[in-house]
Chain A
Amino acid sequence: MSSSNLFKATVNEHLECLPKPIQSRLYEAPATCLSIYRLLPPLAKFYIMSMLFYEHPIALKDMSKWCKPTAKKIQFEALKRLRSLHLIEEHNKGSHLKLHQTFRKNFRDCLTGSQTSNAFGNLCTSPDKNHIDVKFLDMFASQKWESILHFMVGTELSVAPSKSVLSLLKSGGLMEGPGTSASNLKITNKGFQFLLQDVNVQIWTLLLQYLSLTQDLNMDPVDVLNFIFVLGCLELGKSYTVSSLSETQISMLADLKDYGLIYQNHNDKERFYPTRLATTLTSEAAALRTPSMALNQVVDTANSEATEEQMFSNTGGSIILETNFKIYAYTNSPLEIAILNLFVHLKTRFPNMVTGQITRESIRKALFNGITADQIIKFLESHAHSQMKQMAKENLDKKIEFDANNNINTATDNQQLSVGEFGSANSYHKLEVLPPTVVDQIKLWQLELDRIQTFEGYLFKDFSSQQEYDALRSYASELGVLLWSDKNRKKFFVTKDGMSQVADFANKNRGR
């Protein structure tokens, strides 16, 4: 159980867990507003935007009419996110909604360009003596970051990461051992999982860990968060002045440099450069693959002096997974091999690739280490060779065509052929980069281990009539919070989150 919510501490959840006063203070910085906005789900973004320039609170029941009935669940989740971030507030006894005032003002200013100066960092106006270009920054960032990862898997390195990094790794539970000296630390299960994540998630994990550390050091978490978000809005390849930063933020610079988020010259403490790791902090999933890809490329070039053409040719990953559970990885990075070793039974190693086999034992080993099947699958997916992606795309096209010809599933959205099929068939068909057999098997192997799933929630029972039961049950299932229901005994069970909503609905119904 613990494995699945171990990395729950992604940014959003962290933000949601912050107390309201701190959130309100966060919203005072336009950069933070922008970043938080970007992290929201699309529907929530739409809600915010539509309320941004509208002066009056919006009636809740009007709002529910915007969405099609089928989208109720998504709407519910979007509103939940907004509520827990306190971006929307209830007004007029819960019948109306309005935006958080500070957020509203600052985000508006941000869009109209009338915000206070310094909101997005101060550019350094004087030219830098040392010429620093993007390539250099990329090199620097990847070097720093890779060295941390390499250190974790225990690759022999000339330089160990700095003390602050080590203590962070240790306090985050990613590594363990007596003392903080580099040689004593050993990677933990949590650390293995950490390695499987996307670069951005990794950075955020460390930054959030850092955040909790700073709280112990009596640094202002709002200041720290704000600075992180400002970093996300800075521009790559430009230098910014240190002088405009607060005390806390200046003290952060050294640490951030250790993680490779910013670059600062030894001699010139007056300016800093954000690296790609920093500027892409607030990009979400799809867009996020880009920076990590870019990083991979840089690493590649650093390793093998590849030409630019090669850089373009090997965008994407390096792993080919076959239906017979054989895996081929075109890599010679010890890091990637070490990660693969976590869940693959590696067999042969060639100068530019390794081959291996996914077996029940190898997966179980990983699972026992606390790595989840989803993590493995996601890792394989995001590192899949471009050839695999291409094949998957072709297969998908074929499948859509086939289904369209055979009237499967797509009849509803094909109904307006002449009006254009905008409800594209993609919602029914998912791109399967990995062979489905392997994916299913990995999931099955995980299911072997945990056969009981537990949910926290509430049982609804003792309904007076079948109608009442039906109404409430269908409401709950529309919201997507229904876990179990029994028609004959008129009982059903909802998740913890959905309790209040369903109860509200029940009370309202009873009142009528």
Chain B
Amino acid sequence: MDESDEDYVATNNGKAVVSDRDSSEDFSDSDSSILGDGVSKRTRSRGRSSGRQTRGGPMQSNLKGNSGGYSWEDEYQRTWDIVKDDDDGVGSLQTLVQTLIESRKKKIMKNPSTPFQRGIIRTMIVIIDGSEVMLERDLRPTRFSMMLSLLQEFILEFFDQNPISQMGIVMMRNGIAIRISDVSGSPQYHIDKIRQLKTKQHNRFEPKGDPSLQNSLELARSLLMYNFNNKVNDTQNSKEILIIFGALFTSDPGNIHKTIDNLVKDDIKIKIIGLAAQVAICEEIVRRTNSSKTSSSYINTNYGVIMNESHFKELLMDCVIPLPVSEDFEKKEKKGVPLIKMGFPSKIQPSVTSNSSINLNLPSICSCHPDEENDASHSKEAGEAGNGTYSSKKVIGYKCPQCLNKVCQLPTICPICGLMLILSTHLARSYHHLVPLEAYKEVPTMEEYESTYCYGCLLKFPSGRKNAQSDDANKIESLTSSRYRCGKCQQDFCIDCDVFIHETLHNCPGCENK
């Protein structure tokens, strides 16, 4: 219901604000501030404001109508009244065009132009609920499959934003904790596992029984600790657990408070997303593990209960963003941020014949799977899912630049010399955050322009309107020059290039050629 309302307002607003774009942006600013310290704080407030900010869509200005009041205070406007037809019928098209451009421009704005501060390297265990309540159909089609499909998106996003982080997945089912996927840095591996889970829903992994928070927390804790037992990069890692909890109870074999104590001791941070309602023990877990002076705010950010599907997604995607630098921020500041030594290995593929064009791919032994049998069963399991990833992974290997040892999967920590190995492309994926591209400015409408073609794609720009004086002033305002100029290199681009450059490419072709 919430959704549909907003949609209506969105279209309504979008059309109405067409002519004065500046003012609409003003509104959005004031909106976000209102939301920030606004009325409906509870679990929702943070999810909202931050989620909206990152998305930056028209939704943000939704609540406000044209005249500055809330939209429901406005006079009722019929859609056909809003669309104004010009005498010759051209005007309506132009306003439409304008709206489209507006929306595109707004889409660009979602990229923050301030340098992105990256958090520390994270290791996250995701605990998902596989208990009977997950079969509930209040989320479509069921809570369980909804969660899984959202989780897939989450995994991709997580590794996109945190290229050198690692993740593992644990499921609570029938009173015990099941390890779904090992701690690994490969998004594809996790997604495959989730997919398997989805297809196997009807037998082994069908949601069943009661959830056990304690069991799963202990398993997650041991996974996290196991992963750090080599002490290599211990200090700069943050250990996190994300729980997606559908049930309202937990059936545990022992005293969960002891587990919590251990978690606190190990400095593991826990976030919980509840699918039904707030649960006291969850609140306690979150409060204790994220110990801080301002505890109340931590509950808000780290324990959220979903209101609807989109809110679920928002809460989940919030977990992508690295945790705020924790309470020992000051201490760290003195200490300084850690510097990590890393290796950028080369991909090697042993091929036997060098003169023939056929590749004989001989699998070779890698150091990360010394146990051959274990490995075989591993790949067999993967093969079951109709996936040949692992067999190919064994052929292709990466050579540690420090000890020349071969590993088969990146990113990882070299088992021989303990060097952190990563593909430089993993790091590079997020570099555009470091050097954000300035937004292009629209060239004001003029009678004549310097540029005839888009610098990027050679698209011919519409020429200036010579007879502009003859038209009424209204029209000129609604017209665009279709040119967007980079402030640095003074080159003009078309709207498509503008969008493409800011959303996908993150390079200004003009500046690159300077």
* Of the residues B149, B358, B389, contact of A65 by C-beta under 8 Å: B358
**B199 x A406 contact (CB < 8 A):** yes
**B386 x A407 contact (CB < 8 A):** yes
B388 within 8 A of A: yes
Complex-state Cα separation, A65 to B198, whole angstroms:
39
Within 8 A of A (CB), among B160-216: 187-188, 191-192, 195-196, 198-199
**B187 x A417 contact (CB < 8 A):** yes
**B191 x A417 contact (CB < 8 A):** yes
Complex-state Cα separation, A66 to B195, whole angstroms:
35
* Of the residues B357, B358, B386, contact of A411 by C-beta under 8 Å: B386
A57 to chain B, nearest CB (A): 17
Q: Please, which residues of chain A bring their CB within 8 A of the CB of B152?
A: 405
**B196 x A407 contact (CB < 8 A):** yes
* Of the residues A405, A415, A418, contact of B187 by C-beta under 8 Å: A418
A412 within 8 A of B: yes
Q: Please, which residues of chain B bring their CB within 8 A of the CB of A412?
A: 386-388
Within 8 A of A (CB), among B100-149: 149
Q: Please, which residues of chain B bring their CB within 8 A of the CB of A417?
A: 187-188, 191
**A415 x B388 contact (CB < 8 A):** yes
The bracket for how many chain A residues form the interface is 10 to 19
B459 within 8 A of A: no
Q: Please, which residues of chain B bring their CB within 8 A of the CB of A407?
A: 195-196, 198-199, 385-386
B292 to chain A, nearest CB (A): 36
Complex-state Cα separation, A407 to B357, whole angstroms:
33
Complex-state Cα separation, A416 to B387, whole angstroms:
10
Q: Please, which residues of chain B bring their CB within 8 A of the CB of A65?
A: 356-358
Complex-state Cα separation, A62 to B355, whole angstroms:
11
**A415 x B149 contact (CB < 8 A):** no
Q: Please, which residues of chain A bring their CB within 8 A of the CB of B198?
A: 405-407
* Of the residues B188, B196, B356, B358, contact of A415 by C-beta under 8 Å: B188
Q: Please, which residues of chain A bring their CB within 8 A of the CB of B11?
A: none
Interface 0/1 of A407-445, CB less than 8 Å to B: 100011001111000000000000000000000000000
* Of the residues A66, A405, A415, contact of B389 by C-beta under 8 Å: A415
Please, which residue of chain B has its CB at the minimum distance from the CB of A64?
B358
B289 to chain A, nearest CB (A): 32
Interface 0/1 of A49-77, CB less than 8 Å to B: 00000000000001001100000000000
B392 within 8 A of A: yes
Q: Please, which residues of chain A bring their CB within 8 A of the CB of B385?
A: 407, 411
Please, which residue of chain A has its CB at the minimum distance from the CB of B197?
A407
Within 8 A of B (CB), among A376-426: 405-407, 411-412, 415-418
Q: Please, which residues of chain A bring their CB within 8 A of the CB of B386?
A: 407, 411-412
B430 to chain A, nearest CB (A): 14
Please, which residue of chain B has its CB at the minimum distance from the CB of A407?
B195
Q: Please, which residues of chain B bring their CB within 8 A of the CB of A405?
A: 149, 152, 195, 198
Q: Please, which residues of chain B bring their CB within 8 A of the CB of A406?
A: 195, 198-199
- Tell me whether A415 and B191 are in contact in the complex, defined as CB-CB below 8 angstroms, given that A405-B149, A407-B198 are known contacts: no
- Tell me whether A411 and B387 are in contact in the complex, defined as CB-CB below 8 angstroms, given that A417-B187, A417-B188 are known contacts: yes
Q: Please, which residues of chain B bring their CB within 8 A of the CB of A62?
A: 357
**A418 x B188 contact (CB < 8 A):** yes
Give the residue among A66, A405, A407, A417 with the most B Cβ atoms within 10 A. A407
Complex-state Cα separation, A407 to B356, whole angstroms:
36
A309 to chain B, nearest CB (A): 11
Complex-state Cα separation, A405 to B150, whole angstroms:
11
B487 to chain A, nearest CB (A): 33
Complex-state Cα separation, A329 to B392, whole angstroms:
52
Complex-state Cα separation, A65 to B356, whole angstroms:
9
Complex-state Cα separation, A416 to B389, whole angstroms:
8
Complex-state Cα separation, A66 to B356, whole angstroms:
10
B397 to chain A, nearest CB (A): 15
Complex-state Cα separation, A65 to B353, whole angstroms:
13
Within 8 A of B (CB), among A116-142: none
Complex-state Cα separation, A411 to B357, whole angstroms:
27
Interface 0/1 of A67-106, CB less than 8 Å to B: 0000000000000000000000000000000000000000
Complex-state Cα separation, A412 to B191, whole angstroms:
14
Please, which residue of chain A has its CB at the minimum distance from the CB of B429?
A418
Complex-state Cα separation, A412 to B392, whole angstroms:
11
Q: Please, which residues of chain A bring their CB within 8 A of the CB of B196?
A: 407
A417 to chain B, nearest CB (A): 5
Q: Please, which residues of chain A bring their CB within 8 A of the CB of B192?
A: 411
B205 to chain A, nearest CB (A): 14
Complex-state Cα separation, A406 to B194, whole angstroms:
10
Q: Please, which residues of chain A bring their CB within 8 A of the CB of B388?
A: 412, 415
Complex-state Cα separation, A66 to B358, whole angstroms:
8
Complex-state Cα separation, A417 to B186, whole angstroms:
10
Q: Please, which residues of chain B bring their CB within 8 A of the CB of A416?
A: 188, 389
A407 to chain B, nearest CB (A): 4
* Of the residues B187, B199, B357, B387, contact of A66 by C-beta under 8 Å: B357
Q: Please, which residues of chain B bring their CB within 8 A of the CB of A418?
A: 187-188
Complex-state Cα separation, A3 to B188, whole angstroms:
51
Please, which residue of chain A has its CB at the minimum distance from the CB of B356?
A65
Please, which residue of chain B has its CB at the minimum distance from the CB of A418?
B188
Interface 0/1 of B379-423, CB less than 8 Å to A: 000000111110010000000000000000000000000000000
Q: Please, which residues of chain A bring their CB within 8 A of the CB of B387?
A: 411-412, 415
Please, which residue of chain B has its CB at the minimum distance from the CB of A410?
B386
Please, which residue of chain A has its CB at the minimum distance from the CB of B423?
A418
A54 to chain B, nearest CB (A): 14
Within 8 A of B (CB), among A217-238: none
Interface 0/1 of A452-480, CB less than 8 Å to B: 00000000000000000000000000000
A403 to chain B, nearest CB (A): 11
Give the residue among A62, A406, A411 with the most B Cβ atoms within 10 A. A411
Complex-state Cα separation, A411 to B382, whole angstroms:
11
Q: Please, which residues of chain B bring their CB within 8 A of the CB of A415?
A: 188, 387-389, 392
B102 to chain A, nearest CB (A): 24
Please, which residue of chain A has its CB at the minimum distance from the CB of B426?
A418
Complex-state Cα separation, A425 to B291, whole angstroms:
48
Complex-state Cα separation, A158 to B8, whole angstroms:
57
Complex-state Cα separation, A418 to B389, whole angstroms:
12
Complex-state Cα separation, A429 to B187, whole angstroms:
25
Complex-state Cα separation, A65 to B355, whole angstroms:
12
Complex-state Cα separation, A285 to B191, whole angstroms:
39
Interface 0/1 of B284-296, CB less than 8 Å to A: 0000000000000
Complex-state Cα separation, A405 to B156, whole angstroms:
13
Q: Please, which residues of chain B bring their CB within 8 A of the CB of A66?
A: 357
Complex-state Cα separation, A65 to B387, whole angstroms:
25
Chain B interface (Cβ < 8 Å from any Cβ of A): 149, 152, 187-188, 191-192, 195-196, 198-199, 356-358, 385-389, 392
The 6 listed contacts between A and B (C-beta, < 8 Å) are A406-B198, A411-B192, A412-B387, A415-B188, A415-B389, A416-B389
Sample of 4 further A-B pairs with CB below 8 A, known A407-B385, A418-B187: A65-B357, A66-B357, A411-B192, A412-B387
Q: Which 7 A-B pairs have the closest CB atoms?
A: A407-B195, A411-B386, A415-B389, A411-B387, A65-B358, A417-B188, A407-B199
